Amino acid sequence: MSPVELRKTTVSSACQGPERRLYTARAELVLAMPDHRPLAQAAGFAPDPLQRVAAAMAGVRSEEGEQADVVLDVIPVSAGAVARRRRVLMRRAKQRGPQAFGEQLGGGLGWWEALVEGLNGGRRPGVRGRAERVPRQVDVKEGVGKFTPGQQVFAVQLLVRVIATHPVRARARLNQLLAAVEVFAGENRFRPVGPRLPWWRPYSNVWWRRRSFDRRLESGEFAPARRQWVTVPEIAGLLKPPTIGCTAVNVARCGGVVPAAPVGLPTFTGQKDVVPLGLVTGADGRVTFGGVPEAGLLFGAFFGKSGFGKTELGLLQAICRAYAGAGVWFLDPHGEALARAKPYLAHPAIASRMWEINLATPKMSDRVASWNPLAMEGRRSEQVQEVIAAIVGGLAAAQEWGAYPRARSILSNAVRTLAELSLLLVADGRPDLQPTVFQIKSLLMNDAWREVVIEHLPPEIAGFWTTTFLDYSRDALPTVVQALDRLDNSLSLRAFLGSPRSSYNVRRAMDDGRVAFVCPAGSGEDELICSLLIFDLFLAGLSRKDTPPGLRRALWGFIDEVAAIDRAARDYLAKILEQLRKYQVRLMAMTQMAMRLSEVTRYALMQNQSILSSTAADIDEAKFVTSRFSHVGPQTINHLRQFEYVMSVRLKGQASSPFKVRGVPIDQALADYYNPRGVPALEAAIDTNLERRSVAEIVDRLRTLDDDIAAHLAVRGRPGTSATGPVDRTPGPRPGGEVVHSWPDAPHTETDVA
């Protein structure tokens, strides 16, 4: 009979073909000698006894279904039972008499003498009146062995099983593991039960042992082949995980222990006032889906390696905030987060609030949203300065125009001029003719068009173009035009920024609780558009000073790969972190390395964060993060597994101790909200919400916009002489221009921002 079971289970493996035969080798180990004889008692754990077990397991090919297990089952033995056993052993020692090295010296008591002595009340025949012999201490110690008082004793069951793809491999690995267990051999040792003849050693693989072995291994049943009691020092090597003395590299280890989740951390079940984190382990060892109260959460910093779950966590939080009714603004440079999130957002609670700004290279038939930063529709004349700040600040930041004051001056005046023109056109009832950022270039480069425009503007605006601009233009103009050319060369940006009327308005996203996903990737000018968007966000947040604090609805901003955007946004990220707290703009920033952020942004982020999280990171980055964590060292961060985070959150006004969080993918957390069949309806809802139009339509309209504006101005005539009458600059309803859009959901009808 083969020592390895040949009729075996099969396993499916995609890479190895449909089926693979597996072979099992089994061995149950028992003490070879009477169990009062001790096993070896190693001093310390260097080297660690588990080292050899780990070495034997190193070659196990789990992907092919191979397995190796060493199982030690222990049940404590009561002190009374041990004492009874000790008494028996002492009596035996006494009966045996003097002995040395386990061998009897001289005459002890035979079985007959022992019987007679027992029947005579413990008196030996023929020794009446003489003092009873007291056994030597050394004999008692030899006889009792390891069962001295005060020892914790365990009854044990030791099973070893190997499953391999070849019988020889199974047998070889079993022999390796049996050899590894030999480290416990001393006065006593473990040996396998079952047949063990020189030519036949199947151990527990024989048919009459196999079934019991498998049942015990699979179920945890304790039914050892023989009673065997051991003390703690004997099996200490197995009663602890691999130590530092175990030099085998194939041992699962962590970098260090992270404290348990803080008491009071809420369990997330979908509440509106809790932001999900992931699975956390409490002090009692219980695993829950932890969250953090949204009230204490203002800004978050999420660091760590790429692919370790930062975006997934941000996405989960964004979706949950959206379902909570809050505004969400998710800047996703890669454009993949939204694709993953859409099936979970296809829900009536979200659809009417959903926006999508996707700047990936579009087809001409694709429908896109529109954003005209120059649009004055729904704005007051006092807000021209905000428009100037948004565009000039955004472009200047992206272009690093700190050293080009004249370029800034030209652009500022151009934006002011076009904003005023926009006001005029809205007042004329032609918001569909509002100039876009692409008209800046026309204003600078097309003298005839410029003259037509400035004729209709107040003298203080027109004056710049007739005097100062002529001095600037020779050397400063190319700086400005170059930035505008970059916008002009991108079809995505022409489609997004080329429409006279805006459907994207981040202030409205804040006030109405919109769910906006912005994907700038693919535009070719990611930095430029990110800079404009973030500056717009900053100004929109600041503009909420016109709203009473109690009425400010929270907007949750999520910025993925913030290091890439930080370069474009310059100091405005820091300004958002420093200034927008009171305006209910929250910001969660995700990036691989804090060290790659600009100093200004990093300082602002670390100063104001109310959630600090790190996945696995390089040791230098880990040092930066752990300097903010107590009780957690860089090695711990360095050894975190994928989708594991160490976090510190603000709870009840103070930062918690760091704790470990295991990320939950959204497909598990929100499995019940997965609705891929609802995505087309969601797309249709976005079309309605943003009045998306086709790229071809927008680009065609942009191509003739200069001429259309000029034509309208020509018809309109000079101010004061026009048939349409003087320009009315008073705010309020204007014919055709008072209301921008009609939204499908009545509560979100736009009105002037008061």
Which of 136-144, 246-254, 456-464, 518-526 is the region at the interface with another protein (rule: CB under 8 A)? 246-254
Q: Which two tokens stand for residue 556?
A: 């949750």
| Nearer to another protein (CB atom), residue 63 or residue 447 | 63
| Nearer to another protein (CB atom), residue 270 or residue 524 | 270
Residue with tokens 């990320």: 663
d(CA 697, CA 128): 124
The binder of another protein chosen from 125, 245, 733, 735 (CB under 8 A): 245
d(CA 431, CA 501): 7
Site residues for another protein, 657-716, by CB under 8 A, read: 660, 662, 664, 668-670, 672-673, 675, 677-678, 681-682, 684-685, 688
The binder of another protein chosen from 21, 596, 639, 748 (CB under 8 A): 639
| Nearer to another protein (CB atom), residue 286 or residue 703 | 286
| Nearer to another protein (CB atom), residue 250 or residue 466 | 250
Pairing state between β 515-519 and 327-331: parallel
Q: How far is the CB of 356 from another protein (least distance, A)?
A: 15
The binder of another protein chosen from 33, 90, 193, 248 (CB under 8 A): 248
| Nearer to another protein (CB atom), residue 142 or residue 234 | 234
The phi and psi torsions of 188 (rounded to 5 degrees) equal -120, 170
Q: How far is the CB of 305 from another protein (least distance, A)?
A: 18
The phi and psi torsions of 451 (rounded to 5 degrees) equal -65, -35
Contact (CB, 8 A) for 209 and 201: no
Q: How far is the CB of 222 from another protein (least distance, A)?
A: 4
Range 129-138, long-range pairs (CB < 8 A, 24+ positions):
135/90, 135/93, 135/94, 135/97, 136/98
Per-residue x/- mask for another protein, residues 392 to 421, rule CB under 8 A? ------------------------------
Q: How far is the CB of 235 from another protein (least distance, A)?
A: 8
Q: Taking phi first (over 0 means left), then psi (-120 to 50 degrees means alpha), and beta for anything else, what does residue 513 get?
A: left
d(CA 421, CA 377): 11
Pairing state between β 611-614 and 299-303: parallel
Q: How far is the CB of 58 from another protein (least distance, A)?
A: 5
Question: Would you say how long the chain is, in residues?
Answer: 754
Q: How far is the CB of 444 from another protein (least distance, A)?
A: 44
Contacts of 151 (CB under 8 A, 6+ apart): 82, 231, 232
- Single out the residue of 22, 43, 90, 497 nearest to residue 233, CA to CA: 43
Site residues for another protein, 217-236, by CB under 8 A, read: 219-223, 232-233, 236
Site residues for another protein, 44-63, by CB under 8 A, read: 44-45, 50, 53-54, 57-63
d(CA 525, CA 394): 13
Site residues for another protein, 61-120, by CB under 8 A, read: 61-63, 67-76, 119
**Angstrom distances, CA of residue 352 to CA of 321, 348, 509, 514, 655:** 15, 7, 12, 8, 37
d(CA 427, CA 523): 33
Per-residue x/- mask for another protein, residues 147 to 186, rule CB under 8 A? -----x-x--x-----------------------------
Instruction: Kindly state whether residue 243 participates in binding another protein, applying the rule CB under 8 A.
Output: yes
Q: How far is the CB of 197 from another protein (least distance, A)?
A: 29
Q: How far is the CB of 79 from another protein (least distance, A)?
A: 11
Site residues for another protein, 249-268, by CB under 8 A, read: 250-258, 268
Q: How far is the CB of 645 from another protein (least distance, A)?
A: 14
| Nearer to another protein (CB atom), residue 276 or residue 394 | 276
Q: How far is the CB of 348 from another protein (least distance, A)?
A: 4
| Nearer to another protein (CB atom), residue 236 or residue 753 | 236
Site residues for another protein, 303-362, by CB under 8 A, read: 320, 323-325, 346-349, 351-352
Contact (CB, 8 A) for 556 and 519: no
Please give the full DSSP string across 415-465, using - where no structure is assigned.
HHHHHHHHHHHHHTT-GGG---THHHHHHHH-HHHHHHHHTTS-HHHHHHH
**Angstrom distances, CA of residue 636 to CA of 594, 618, 626:** 17, 11, 9
Total residues contacting another protein (rule CB under 8 A)? 96
| Nearer to another protein (CB atom), residue 195 or residue 233 | 233
DSSP 3-state of 161: strand
Q: How far is the CB of 271 from another protein (least distance, A)?
A: 6
**Angstrom distances, CA of residue 387 to CA of 242, 400, 503, 566:** 64, 19, 16, 22
Q: How far is the CB of 684 from another protein (least distance, A)?
A: 6
